[in-house]
């Protein structure tokens, strides 16, 4: 089985290694959660703002989208 983390910018990160280490007792659940938060925080979409108002986000390929506006 493969464990994939999909970040806001669409990047997919294979977490199988970390989950396996947790299952073997080599690292804790908190270690895995910390790694997930690290990847999420470093793989955000770049925001496009005009006069402080959010209009959209840039995708990895540089296109502008409003798909991820929450």
Q: Give pLDDT, residue 38.
A: 93
Tell me which residue of 10, 12, 5, 67 sits closest to 37, measured CA to CA. 5
Contacting residues for 49 by C-beta, under 8 A, at least 6 apart: 55
What pTM does this model have? Answer: 0.64
Confidence (pLDDT) at 69: 45
Pick from 60, 51, 56: which is nearest to 68 by CA?
Answer: 56
pLDDT 10s digits, 4-59: 999 877 789 999 999 999 999 999 999 999 999 999 888 877 767 778 777 776 76
Q: What is the pLDDT of residue 57?
A: 67
């Amino acid at each position: 089985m493969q464990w994939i983390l999909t970040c806001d910018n669409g990047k997919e990160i294979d977490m199988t290694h970390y989950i396996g280490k947790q299952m073997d007792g080599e690292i804790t659940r908190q270690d895995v959660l910390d790694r997930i938060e690290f990847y999420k925080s470093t793989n955000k979409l770049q925001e496009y703002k005009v006069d402080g108002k959010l209009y959209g986000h840039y995708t990895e390929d540089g296109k502008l989208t409003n798909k991820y506006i929450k």
